[in-house]
Amino acid sequence: MARAVTPRRKALNTVAAWSVALIIFFPVLWMILTSFKTEPSAVAMPPQLFSADWTLENYSEVWARSDYPRFFWNSVVISVGSTLLGLAIAIPAAWSMAFVPGKRTKDLLMWMLSTKMMPAVAVLIPMYLIFQRTGLFDTKTGLVLALMLMNLPIIVWMLYTYFKEIPGEILEASRMDGASLWKEIVYVLTPMAVPGIASTMLLNVILAWNEAFWTITLTTTKAAPLSAFIASFSSPQGLFYGKLSAASTMAIAPILILGWFSQKQLVRGLTFGAVK
């Protein structure tokens, strides 16, 4: 809304908005600050916002004591892999729903979303058994599959809303121009939907990165991503705030940075294309 306001009003707004934003951000900030404190000053009373004895010791200790690169790499493979696989399956489905809608398209979409409402815990034991039996337990392949299926409804829905914005005449034009269905999707639809696909990818990488149920229950060591890394850290480390904060910061830093850099696409993705 481009409405003229007085400078005084703008200053007031700025102060208010920044206060609220800092309150929301403060827990993350406090965690990051704590990760640079020595253990005694991390629990010092009264608390110190900036401690005098800055240290990187927490990080070096966490790094030395656990195999962070492996957890990190597992997280990358699982979140990116599940997202790409999901896109490969979802793009044709979303094409169908958006450009050849039938009477039951809406129901189908809603059914897909409703599969996400099933509490994961409810099927934990069967999933555990299935994963053990099929050799998928504690493998990256297994988690890629699981997280792909978990996020597939969201991916389909987001792509569907983006595709619907593309005029069907353009796809018909490509059909008149002699493009097969496959070429129509590869040469015309996908390039036109790049911004939407990018947003969808980003959001789903984040959702997969932050998933902390299947990633913890269906892994032990080999395929465990950062969510398992942090869960394992909190129990034996007990109240070593500095190290716990350092480990936590290391777990969320990659995705936090990715999210901040791609803010624009992400905001678009976050709204699921459903709000304009």
Partner 1 sequence: MGQITLKQVRKSFGDVHVIPGVDLDINDGEFVVFVGPSGCGKSTLLRLIAGLEDTTSGKIHIDGKDATDLPPAKRGLAMVFQSYALYPHMTVRKNIAFPLKMAGMNPAEIDKKVEYAARVLNLANYLDRRPGQLSGGQRQRVAIGRAIVRSPSAFLFDEPLSNLDAALRVGMRQEITELHQNLKTTMIYVTHDQVEAMTMADKIVVLNAGNIEQVGSPLELYRRPRNLFVAGFIGSPKMNLIEGAEAAKLGAKTIGIRPEHIEVGSGPWSGTVALSEHLGSDTFLKVDAGELGIMTVRGSGEVNVHTGDRIQFAPQADKVHRFDANGLRLD
Partner 2 sequence: MSTQSTRLASRIMVAPSVIVLFIWMIVPLAMTLYFSFRIYRLLSPDRTGWVGFANYTWFFKSPEFWLAISNTLALVLGVLIITVVLGTLIALLIDQPVKGQGVLRILVIAPFFVMPPVAAMIWDNLFMHPQNGLLGAVSRAFGAEPILYMEQYPMASIITIVAWEWLPFATLILLTAMQSLSSEQLEAAEMDGASALNRFRYIIFPHLTRAITVVILIETIFLLGIFGEIFTATQGGPGSASTTLPYMIFKQAIVAKDIGRAAAGGIIAVILANIVAFFLMRSIGKNLDA
If we measure between CA atoms, which residue out of 256, 226, 271, 193 comes closest to residue 27? 256
Quick check: 183 binds partner 1 (CB under 8 A)? yes
Among 56, 129, 170, 173, binds partner 2 (CB under 8 A): 129
Among 52, 122, 169, 191, binds partner 2 (CB under 8 A): 122
The one-character DSSP state at 139 is -
- Structure token digits, residue 173: 């034009």
Quick check: 266 binds partner 2 (CB under 8 A)? yes
**Residue 198 interacts with which of partner 2, partner 1, none, CB < 5 to 8 Å by class:** none
Residue burial 201-225, b: 16+ Cβ < 10 Å; e: rest = bbbbbbbbbebeebbbbbbeeebbb
Report the alpha-carbon angle 200-121-250, nearest 5. Answer: 55
Closest approach of Cβ 170 to partner 2, in Å?
15
Collect all residues with Cβ–Cβ distance below 8 Å to 170 and sequence separation of at least 6: 188, 192
**Residue 63 interacts with which of partner 2, partner 1, none, CB < 5 to 8 Å by class:** none
Closest approach of Cβ 106 to partner 1, in Å?
18
Quick check: 47 binds partner 2 (CB under 8 A)? yes
Helix axes 68-99, 241-261, angle to 10 degrees: 40
- Specify the stretch interacting with partner 2 by CB under 8 A; choose among 21-29, 53-61, 135-143, 189-197: 21-29
Quick check: 194 binds partner 1 (CB under 8 A)? yes
Number of residues in contact with partner 1, rule: CB under 8 A? 18
- In the three-class reduction of DSSP (H, G, I as helix; E, B as strand; rest coil), residue 16 is classed as helix
**Residue 187 interacts with which of partner 1, partner 2, none, CB < 5 to 8 Å by class:** partner 1
